[in-house]
């Protein structure tokens, strides 16, 4: 007898009622290495002995022989909280290119995924990693690459899709809990996974499309109150004005179902009384995370340059 499906999120993942998970993409992994093309060195590390969170670190090889301290980028991968990892070729290649373009040190977080580890596991692991980074602020943390080469006065958080949602959530938490060692990191949210019960003006009302976005959230966060959960709909969060970031860059793609949410996020921040600076960059004619699948296209190259200049301002 065939097991009943709890969530059919084809072509990404299927979740069965007996707890079995069938990930249909984002399952390949690559080892850390010295990338000859970009000159970026990477390695995998465990963040803490009492937690399941690990990360992949990236550094320009040339920086290892230099006294110059580099900005630090904390990166959260996408995949609807359900699939992909920091070790997938897609993200490994993206981080190599981004680190080379921006000349930064990056920590790509391998947070625990739903449904085996429903939210808030991904948020908890991301916060654990943020506090781990902060522990290097006086140069005596557990990781030598950060002690020797990181400038923790310039910290950035970035992520795409579900990772963009994590960036927002980390910003909210930083507004509530000051983190000793990191002052107000700047935030980059690429095609962020934000949503709400009611369609925005010019947002799709097609039930099938809306249902897929909503099912991802329910599968990742079974105890949620729904799509107006403040974790998914920032309009419902009274803490928004205290977002603990000084600058926010939101990247959206014209054909992406989540585009209107990115623009709305800018509006919400401005209306909330938050006193930082926010800007939106839209890629015409593109769809969700197009830059990961087609990194050499014009819009992806423009976006990469924008991310780098944002981190080097």
Domains of the chain: 5-312 (3.40.50.1820)
Find out whether the peptide bond into 120 is cis, omega within 30 degrees of 0: yes
Distances in Å between the Cα of 82 and the Cα atoms of 14, 121, 264, 305 are 10, 12, 25, 29
Torsion of CA 227, 86, 253, 212, to 10 degrees: -40
**What pLDDT is recorded for position 48?**
78
As given in the structure block, the two tokens for residue 158 are: 């970035």
Q: Which residues are designated catalytic?
A: 161, 256, 288
Q: Cβ neighbours of residue 293 under 8 Å, at least 6 residues apart?
A: 90
Per-residue pLDDT of the chain (313 residues; tens, 9 = 90+): 467 999 999 999 999 999 999 999 999 999 999 999 999 999 999 997 777 899 999 999 999 999 899 999 999 999 999 999 999 999 999 999 999 999 999 999 999 999 999 999 999 999 999 999 999 999 999 999 999 999 999 999 999 999 999 999 999 999 999 899 998 899 999 999 999 999 999 999 999 999 999 999 999 999 999 999 999 999 999 999 999 999 999 999 999 999 999 999 999 999 999 999 999 999 999 999 999 999 999 999 999 999 999 999 8
DSSP 233-253: -GGG-TTGGG-S-SEEEEEEE
**How many other CB atoms sit within 10 Å of the CB of residue 25?**
13
Antiparallel, parallel or unpaired: β 54-60 and 105-110: antiparallel
pLDDT for position 3? 78
CA distance 149 to 100: 15
């Amino acid at each position: 007898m065939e097991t009943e499906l709890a969530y059919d999120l084809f072509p990404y993942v299927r979740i069965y009622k007996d707890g079995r998970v069938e990930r249909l993409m984002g399952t390949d992994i690559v080892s850390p290495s010295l990338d000859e093309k970009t000159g970026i060195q990477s390695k995998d590390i465990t963040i803490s002995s009492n937690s399941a969170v690990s990360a992949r670190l990236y550094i320009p090889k040339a920086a290892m022989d230099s006294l110059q301290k580099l900005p630090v980028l904390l990166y959260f991968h996408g995949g609807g909280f359900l699939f992909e990892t920091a070790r997938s070729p897609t993200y490994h290649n993206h981080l190599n290119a981004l680190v080379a373009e921006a000349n930064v040190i990056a920590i790509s977080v391998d947070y625990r995924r739903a449904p085996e580890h429903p939210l808030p596991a991904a948020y908890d692991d991301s916060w654990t990693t943020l506090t781990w980074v902060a522990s290097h602020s006086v140069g005596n943390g557990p990781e030598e690459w950060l002690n020797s080469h990181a400038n923790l006065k310039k910290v950035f958080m970035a992520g795409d899709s579900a990772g963009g949602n994590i960036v927002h959530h980390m910003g909210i938490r930083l507004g509530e809990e000051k983190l000793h060692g990191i002052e107000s990191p700047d935030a980059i949210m690429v095609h962020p996974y934000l949503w709400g019960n009611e369609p925005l003006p010019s947002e799709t009302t097609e039930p099938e499309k809306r249902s897929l976005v909503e099912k991802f959230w329910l599968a990742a966060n079974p105890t949620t109150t729904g799509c107006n959960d403040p974790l998914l709909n920032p309009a419902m969060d009274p803490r928004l004005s205290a977002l603990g970031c000084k600058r926010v860059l939101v990247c959206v793609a014209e054909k992406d179902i989540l585009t209107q949410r990115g623009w709305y996020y800018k509006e919400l921040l401005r209306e909330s009384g938050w006193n930082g600076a926010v800007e939106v960059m839209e890629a015409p004619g593109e769809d969700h995370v197009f830059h990961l699948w087609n990194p050499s296209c014009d819009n992806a190259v423009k976006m990469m340059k924008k991310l780098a200049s944002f981190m080097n301002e």
